[in-house]
Structure 1
Amino acid sequence: MATKNEKKMTKSYFDVLGICCTSEVPLIENILNSLDGVKEYSVIVPSRTVIVVHDSLIISQFNIVKALNQARLEANVRVTGETNFKNKWPSPFAVVSGVLLLLSFFKYVYSPFRWLAVAAVVAGIYPILAKSVASIARARIDINILVVITVGATLGMRDYTEAAAVVFLFTIAEWLQSRASYKASAVMQSLMSLAPQKAVIAETGEEVEVDELKINTVIAVKAGETISIDGVVVDGNCEVDEKTLTGEAFPVPKLRDSTVWAGTINLNGYITVKTTALAEDCVVAKMAKLVEEAQNSKTETQRFIDECSKYYTPAIILISLCFVVIPFALKVHNMKHWLHLALVVLVSACPCGLILSTPVATFCALTKAATSGLLIKGADYLETLAKIKTVAFDKTGTITRGEFIVMDFKSLSRDISLHSLLYWVSSVESKSSHPMAAALVDYAKSISVEPKPEAVEDYQNFPGEGIHGKIGGKEVYIGNKRIASRAGCSSVPDIDVDTKGGKTVGYVYLGETLAGVFNLSDACRSGVAQAMKELKSMGIKTAMLTGDNQASAMHAQEQLGNVMDVVHAELLPEGKSQIIKEFKREGPTAMVGDGLNDAPALATADIGISMGVSGSALATETGHIILMSNDIRRIPQAIRLARRGKRKVVENVVLSITMKGAILALAFAGHPLIWAAVLADVGTCLLVILNSMLLLRDVHVPGGKCHRAEKGACDVVGDMEAGLLPKHCKSGCCGKKNQQEVMKLDKTSEGHGHSGCCDKKREDKVMIVRKRCESRCCGDKIQQRDQDEVKQSCHNKAGDTEEIRLDISVKGCCSRPVADPVVASDGHRESSCCESSRKGNNEEACCEVETNESNCSSREKHHSHCHSHHHE
């Protein structure tokens, strides 16, 4: 019976425009708690959204809306989680009230027009009065009651124009506030409704609801369609846009057996996909759930402000009463002035702007993070992220790609063949999810050894050491040198193992006997060096914590240009946790990890950042922040965003207090303007929302430097892979279309090529660069290997095309090409692609460089040989 009821559970989204601040949350909770069939709910104040999980057989969406609207909360159903903002224009009450107020100013021409101000009050007061009655019925005080009291008192003092101004300003400001809230939440709602609601069965062509799909169902996805559920490609190939999910700037190619995710877009090609998860368990659904939970959480600052607001409103109301009672008791002559002053103070009793100052800024920061491929699981983690002093990184799969290649595999026993040893090793490793295991299994298959994981018994994993399994009566231990103790061997025998180039060394034991040894190589991820430099520029200490050997760790450090402040190698998981505890003494610490061995360190750190889609399930559960892509450069972006969010909270709090203080100061100075107090109250809420929305905008990295400036040896593709624009130059820079061409070329040209800024094509694995010599091109900072050959064609001033070969032997900053034909001694024409001066027999050309890069001299010279043989 329980299972049957569980299938009827529905998650519904409601836009509740009557939510002003957190003071409405208890009201909504009381209403929903009284409804049968409501299982759970959450109220997201900044986006004015209520999410309800309910049994649709017991209570419908209509009944929930009806219950909410009895309290005048202006609720309506949002279809399939999408934003549906209905109030595109102000309400008729506000419009009529405004027109009548405007006409009332003609009282200075014809006095009876002053009564139009009273008509303006009558026309606009209804929605405010209705909400006040609903609040009184539920024994709660809100801004609507305060406004009604203020308007009534103002009319009693015959200040008709001021009463009309209060009504109009309040209603129109509430509408503006609703519009701003809608715009702030629109980005998040589009993110939370990425996956389509229907899918097409490949075999029959039938369109079905995504919720009805079972695991291992094969669906069809055409070019241009959004993939509806997680799965594996079983037929066809295409390119997929994963930007909305991971933040990846460029299309990702998908072939047979490639994994695809719900919410990503098939750009070209027809594919069939076998589902690997239910709709509620796919990555985009989990992401939406995490985002909802994060939005509903509170920071420490917000909890403090909410606590203070409980006492603020009663205290201000009491003060307001004192300004009426005491002067009346003393029988002062200017009683009207004191009544105005009391009303100004009364209107200031609602702290909505102050209450919204933190949650709206937090909401916008979480939204920006999610749309950038960063899932922050709670508001507290965002607040802590802004204070981070140290960031520690695991090496394998985090700093490095985690794509190991077996460089050597040896059997150390004459009695055991390499084939047999590989069979035992690959069978046991098939049980592991470590990147090294995949490399060993692939290596075995490459030499026709087929592993049999089903034959393995007593499989065990020893974090930081290795694994064990029993197969064919053999006790097999595989891992680093620490695995020797597990095998019953006190120490690793002294054998000759190649550790050059930072290779990772592994050992194979059969019982207590060392039976084999192997080494693997890995490469750094693109952009890691740049990320470390950014963190350092932000005053953050960086550290590498790895269980790998010292030689491998130091090799990675050298590849990164020695940017890491601290390197610790050969660590057990407990060792990583201990070092994190030491770092925490210096200040808040973040740990970035990918695998099972990182889970304890991620949990120990103030902020655990796990590599989401590629990371292990345990690491993802442990991490406080999930990095949806493998781009480490997202980490300094996240910290920078958190710091901006913290600044916005401070700005909002100062703005709220200053506005209230200014109006009260003006009142005490002898100018108690009631309409100004109302405008300050609702206007502050609007300004807080608009100021927080600035977090949704992209901000240029401080300093304006090109990310192509100084690359580490690891940055093979560099900024092209990240989709960054080229650096500054006098005549403009390349567009994104050309960058994509360059990226494809760099990935297939075996390291050769010139990352220039003109149109690029590929021909016979040699990059053809077509440059118009009449126009200037960007001064690109190029790092190429010595003696790289680049085949380049350059248009001369006459429009002819000549092909030349460049031997670039010096790292430098190339300038625009200028193809001035030079006649060589052999009768052929020699064309220089640089601004050149002839030397000797014209075999050398000198290239003078102008660049805007701060790390390149303004005029730099280097020599390059430019040869072109073109028969006249």
Structure 2
Amino acid sequence: MVDENMKRSNFEVLGMCCATEASLVERILKPLHGVKDVSVIVPTRTVTVVHDVLFISQSQIADALNNASLEASYRPHGESNNIEKKWPDFPTMACGLLLVLSFLKYLYPSLEWLALGSVAIGFPKVLFRAIASIKALTLNINILVVFAVCGTIAIQDFTDGGVIIFLFSIAQWLETRATHKAMVAMSSLTNMAPQMAIAAETGERVDVNEVKINTILAVKAGEAIPLDGVVVDGKCEVDEKMLTGESFPVTKESDSLVWAGTINMNGYISVRTIVLAKDTVVAKMSRLVEEASSRKSQAQRFIDNFAKYYIPVVVLISASIAVVPAAISVPDIEPWFHLSLVVLLSGCPCALILSTPVAIFCALTKAAISGLLLKGGDYLETLSRIKTVAFDKTGTITRGEFSVTDFSGTDDIDNETILYWISSIESKSSHPVAAALVEYGMLHSIKPVPENVENFQNFPGEGIFGTIDGRDIYIGNRRIGIRAQSERVDCQLQFQSNEISAKKQYCGQTLVGVFSLVDACRSGALEAIEELKLLGVRSVMLTGDSSQVAMYVQSQLNHAIDIVHAELLPHEKATIIENLKKQGPTAMIGDGINDAPALATADIGISMGISGSALANETSNAILMSNDIRKVPEAIRLARKTTRKLIENVIISVGFKCAILALAIAGYPLVWLAVLTDVGTCLFVILNSMLILQENKKDESESSTRSNKYGNFLEVNVDVRKGLLSDEKCGKGCCKNVTDHVETTKARKIESCGNDHGSYMFVEVHVGKPCNDLCLEKVKMCDEGKMDKSIDDLELSETSGIDECCKNKCCNEFVDVDVDVISSLGGKTEIIIE
């Protein structure tokens, strides 16, 4: 009953300046009866409170914060208050107006008192916060400002007092404006899913928070899917880019999973909801980012601890500078008072304290938008220092989509019986191989009967076991044969080759059949590994499969992986990770099926997949929302960029403060300059950190041009044909006609080079044959008068068999690759091979 009353509420606290006030928020809220937990995200001025609604409501929590003038307001789930203030509040503007008028004192001396009026208008809000801080035994910027203003009034320097108040108020307004961008970025996650849904039966619009599980919703073309669910009717293409980073629309039909926040691009579908609004993938992503932001990184903890001692020391030094000269009767103590105020204001550590959390929050948000969820700032710091990345093979480097290429049974038992045993037992397994074996049985009209299976067991890294029709059946690799105590563990059939994985079936101790399966490498796997090399990071492949299969995958990746370990059990993967960690920080990437020990052992474990189990995986420190492992080197670059920003922030924060102090010691104790410097460094830290959120075009172009210098990769279908270009297509009269069709494959389309005729696209195609057999070279055919035909007519010129006339007249540049072609944007491309 108590759990049902627990509620997680978000509040926006605009009066929170930096981490010193975050501790004030915690000291105010934690003692309240009914409050169980408080987490503060300084960059977005957000406070999350877990509380019992029977004892304390959202309005009471907001009132407690507002009693300290912290400008708190409750933010309903999935919504974001408009924290972007276009103009400062009235007291700040009035304070500034009176201060400006007071500078006319040089013409009208009586106007000097207007400066005191500016202090009177702006001072109360700061004073209330200072009093609340004192009550909470928290020393922060509000107390320093109160001391400084009181000091200026004591020496009757009203103008400096007004400057301090005005600049401090303006600083908070500017910081709110600046941090609004971070909040907008965060809102792109929280507000991804719509707040209203359409009931399929009635057509009525309902609040998503009121939609129950198993409700049928209607989603029309152009609309965002409101809740995670399963398609029960209709067919469409869904844009999942914002969630997974997938560039191309994904086809959805009956029984397909769809996710809240993704866009139905065409068609009409009915969706049966499978979770509540608070449990959608998008909602979990948002919570993970918020929780990660509230967890302090090692650098942030160090700076916060430093500030705890730094502020009291600064106050003591400032007080000593003011009191000691007066105690020893120094003739002119006013310069000492000004020096004391400069030390006090220059000692404000707001910029230093903000230097880390703002940058880390922006990086975590950027990573989440890109499809990688990090569970804390510490892991971001670790990622920036990574020296080795270990990959699981199945489902990570390869697609994990097995297909059976052959099956051989013994003469003792007919194939139908073996297939019945296998499909029935495998239907109880979640391993990718299981689906392939069950499908193979279905293709041979064998339906699985899982209810007939008894004593089902899973042996990670080996295989599975089950009893069916009184027979003990073992299915797996050679290790399962050892467990079955078979005498034919190392039996290899003639059809088995290095690129094929074998699954053996034992009836008791007898080998009764062997399946051969193949699993292709993921598109982008080679590119990801090459990117890691350019970043100075080693790549390691860990697999439980045979060494022959592992080396075949290595050959498919052009032997780009630095180290390959095969025939591993899950605990052996963890042991290897331990050894790799001795050589430097190590990351482990896996799909989570048999990788939990290795993920937990690594300095940072990254699990793959958008499933709820992946989001809830406690053994991983990060979650890759898509299956695109190219996100890993992108994340490392982001982490390193963030580290650079942290260093820049700290240098600027400390450097300018030291410069102002040096200037004051040299005889120029300018109070207004000290305040302006404090404001400026805070804004620099925020704005510099915000650069992390921007698209870094240089980094993006480097990522793509390292694989091909012509731009970004996309996926397209390519029609492969034999022959050469026709005379009319070539335009120069030196090519032959296109002949018969060969095969259809996948290609990666690359960004346009641009010319007068239109957008020619370069496409790299790997057809799985040696380059020297195809005798292909790449032709770049940008403008300069070298092509006469339009984009629609443009096709590939195969260069190896064309005479020098065609090369000189039709071609501009040659580069050695497997196959490259020229294509119109979005069109089907014909690859011409001899």
TM range, smaller chain: 0.7 to 0.9
Deviations along 1:375-426, one digit per CA (max 9) or x if unpaired, are 00111111111111000111110001111110011111x2311111111101
Q: Once the 2 structures are TM-superposed, how far is the Cα of residue 99 of structure 1 from its aligned partner?
A: 2.0
Of residues 444, 447, 461, the one that matches 1:447 is 444
Corresponding residue of 1:707: 704
- Per-residue CA shift, 1:492-549, capped at 9, x if unaligned? 1534243336111110001110000010011111111111111001111111111111
1:726-783 residue CA offsets vs partner (Å, 9 max, x unmatched): xxxxxxxxxxxxxxxxxxxxxx98128895878xxxxxxxxxxxx9996265473644
Q: CA RMSD in A?
A: 3.4
**1:572 corresponds to which letter in structure 2?**
L
| 1:529 aligns to 2:526 (yes or no) | yes
Which residue number in structure 1 is paired with residue 714 of structure 2? 720
Deviation track 1:277-315 (CA, whole Å, cap 9, x = no partner) reads 333333222222222220110111111111111111111
Structure 2: runs of 5 or more not aligned: 718-741, 819-829
Report the CA distance between 1:722 and its aligned residue.
10
1:386 counterpart (381, 384, 387): 384
For 2:484 and 2:58, how far apart are their aligned partners in 1? 63
CA contact (8 A) 1:782 1:813 kept: no
- Residue from 146, 153, 156 that aligns with 2:154: 156
Q: Which of 746, 754, 757 is the equivalent residue of 1:775?
A: 757
Mapping 1:103-114, distance limit 5 Å: 103-114=101-112
1:32 maps to which residue? 29
- Aligned residue in 2 for 1:802: none
Q: Deviations over 1:542-576 (max 9, x none)?
A: 11111111121111111111111111111111221
- Where 1:306 maps in the other structure, the secondary structure is helix
CA contact (8 A) 2:402 2:432 kept: yes
Note closer, same or farther for the CA distance 1:662–1:705 as it changes in structure 2 (3 Å cut).
closer
What is the CA distance between 1:143 and its match in structure 2?
1.9
Matched, 1:311 2:305: no
Report the Cα distance in structure 2 between the residues aligned to 1:365 and 1:31, rounded to whole angstroms: 29
Q: Secondary structure of the equivalent of 1:10? A: strand
Range 160-169 or range 401-410, more displaced? 160-169
Separation in 2, partners of 1:689, 1:819: 51
**d(CA) in 1 for partners of 2:129, 2:794:** 82
Tell me if 1:751 matches 2:717: no
Q: In 2, distance between residues paired with 1:772 and 1:208?
A: 48
**CA shift in 2, pair 1:617/1:460, >3 Å:** farther
Cα gap change, 1:722 to 1:644, in 2 (>3 Å): farther
- How far apart, CA to CA, are the structure 2 residues paired with 1:43 and 1:772? 49
3-state DSSP class of the match of 1:500? Answer: coil
C-alpha separation in 2, matches of 1:573 and 1:171: 58
Per-residue CA distance 1:589-628 (angstroms, 9 max, x = gap): 0011114211111111111111032696599332111000
Deviations 1:258-280 (CA, angstroms, capped at 9, x unpaired): 11112222222111112223333
Q: Distance in 1 between matches of 2:700 and 2:240?
A: 29
Q: Which residue of 1 aligns with 2:239?
A: 241
2:517 counterpart of 1:520: yes
2:455 to 442, 445, 458: 458
Tell me the secondary structure at the aligned position of residue 343 of structure 1: helix
Cα distance change, pair 184–235 in 1 and its aligned pair in 2 (3 A): same
AA partner of residue 101 (structure 2):
L
**Equivalent pairs, count:** 789
Q: Structure 1 residues 556, 808: CA separation in 2 closer, same or farther (over 3 Å shift)? A: closer
Kept after mapping to 2: 8 A contact 1:779/1:851: no
Per the alignment, residue 638 of structure 1 pairs with 635
SS of equivalent residue, structure 1 residue 277: coil
Structure-2 change in CA distance of 1:563 and 1:520 (3 Å)? same
The Cα shift of 1:228 comes to 2.1
Alignment of 1:388-537 (within 5 A): 388-412=386-410, 414-500=411-497, 502-537=499-534
TM superposition shift of 1:56: 3.4
Structure-1 residue corresponding to 2:558 = 561
Identify the range of structure 1 (527-536 vs 683-692) with the bigger mean alpha-carbon deviation: 683-692
The structure-2 alpha-carbon separation of the partners of 1:349 and 1:457, relative to structure 1 and needing over 3 Å to count, comes to same
Q: For 1:802-821, what aligned pairs fall within 5 Å after superposition?
A: 809-816=775-782, 818=786
Q: For the Cα contact (< 8 Å) 1:403–1:522, is it kept in 2?
A: yes
Measure how far apart 1:851 and its partner are: 5.2
Q: Is the 8 A contact 2:24 2:133 kept in 1?
A: no
Taking structure 2 as the reference length, the TM-score comes to 0.88
Determine if the alignment matches structure 1 residue 589 to structure 2 residue 583: no
AA of the residue aligned to 1:625: A
Matched residue SS, 1:328: helix
Q: What is the identity percentage for the equivalent residue pairs of Structure 1 and Structure 2? A: 52
Is the deviation greater in 379-388 or in 748-757?
A: 748-757
Give SS of 1:477's match: strand
Give the whole-Å Cα distance in 2 for the aligned partners of 1:144 and 1:168: 13
The CA deviation string for residues 667-717 of structure 1, in whole angstroms up to 9 with x for no partner, is 100001111112222332221111111111122355945737648xxxxx9
Residue by residue over 1:218-264, the C-alpha shift from the partner in whole angstroms, topping out at 9 and shown as x without a partner, is 22222222222222111101111212211222221111111111222
Aligned twin of 1:362: 360
Q: State the 1:195 CA deviation.
A: 2.5
Q: 1:79 to 1:574 in 2, by over 3 A?
A: closer
| One-letter code aligned to 2:481 | A
Letter in 1 for 2:517: L
Indicate the residue corresponding to 1:176 in structure 2: 174
More divergent stretch after superposition (389-398 vs 682-691): 682-691
> 1:666 and 2:666 equivalent?
no
- 1:129 deviates by 2.6
CA distance, structure 2, for counterparts of residue 241 and residue 354 of structure 1: 41
Alpha-carbon displacement from aligned partner over 1:152-203 (angstroms, at most 9, x marks no partner): 3223323232222212111111110111122222211331233334433323
Change (3 A) 1:343 1:773: closer
Contact 1:709 1:855 (8 Å CA) reproduced: no
Separation in 2, partners of 1:199, 1:837: 58
CA distance in structure 2 between the aligned counterparts of 1:272 and 1:622, rounded to whole angstroms: 36
CA contact (8 A) 1:499 1:552 kept: no
SS at match of 1:458: strand
3-state SS of paired residue (1:345): helix
Deviation of 1:854 after TM superposition, in Å, equals 11
Residue 94 of structure 2 corresponds to: 96
How much does 1:147 deviate? 1.7
* Aligned mates of 1:296, 1:532 — CA distance in 2: 33
> In 1, distance between residues paired with 2:751 and 2:148?
66
TM-score (norm: length of structure 1): 0.84
> Judging changes above 3 Å, is the alpha-carbon distance between structure 1 residues 309 and 469 closer, same or farther for their aligned structure 2 residues?
same
Q: Does 1:66 align with 2:63?
A: yes
* Letter paired with 1:233: V
Q: 1:660 to 1:277 in 2, by over 3 A?
A: same
1:13–1:81 CA contact under 8 A, matched in 2: no
Distance 1:323 1:432 in 2: 75
* Alpha-carbon distance between aligned partners in 2 of 1:688 and 1:109, rounded to the nearest angstrom: 39
Give the distance between the partners of 1:362 and 1:847, measured in 2 at CA. 54
- Cα separation, partners in 2 of 1:216 and 1:596, compared to 1, 3 Å: same
- The residue type paired with residue 173 of structure 1 is A
Against the structure 1 CA distance between its residues 832 and 571, is the aligned structure 2 distance closer, same or farther, given a 3 Å change threshold? Answer: closer
**3-state secondary structure, aligned to 1:451:** coil
**Secondary structure of the corresponding residue to residue 623 of structure 2:** strand
Deviates more, 1:677-686 or 1:523-532: 677-686
1:340-379 map, 5 Å: 340-379=338-377
User: Who is 1:732 aligned against?
Assistant: none
Which amino acid letter does the alignment assign opposite residue 454 of structure 2? E
Matches of 1:495 and 1:784, distance apart in 2: 30
Q: Is the 8 A contact 2:714 2:750 kept in 1?
A: no
Using the TM superposition, give the Cα deviation of residue 335 of structure 1 relative to its aligned residue in structure 2, in angstroms: 0.9
Aligned to 1:338: 336
Contact kept, 8 Å, 1:835 with 1:847, in 2: the verdict is no
Give structure 1 stretches of 5+ with no counterpart.
Answer: 712-716, 724-747, 759-770, 789-806, 822-829, 857-863, 868-872
How far has the Cα of 1:474 moved from its partner?
1.1
User: Do 2:30 and 2:38's aligned partners in 1 also have CA atoms closer than 8 Å?
Assistant: no
Q: Is this contact kept in 1: 2:11–2:46, CA < 8 A?
A: yes
Aligned mates of 1:575, 1:37 — CA distance in 2: 47
Structure 1 position 84 matched with structure 2 position 81: yes
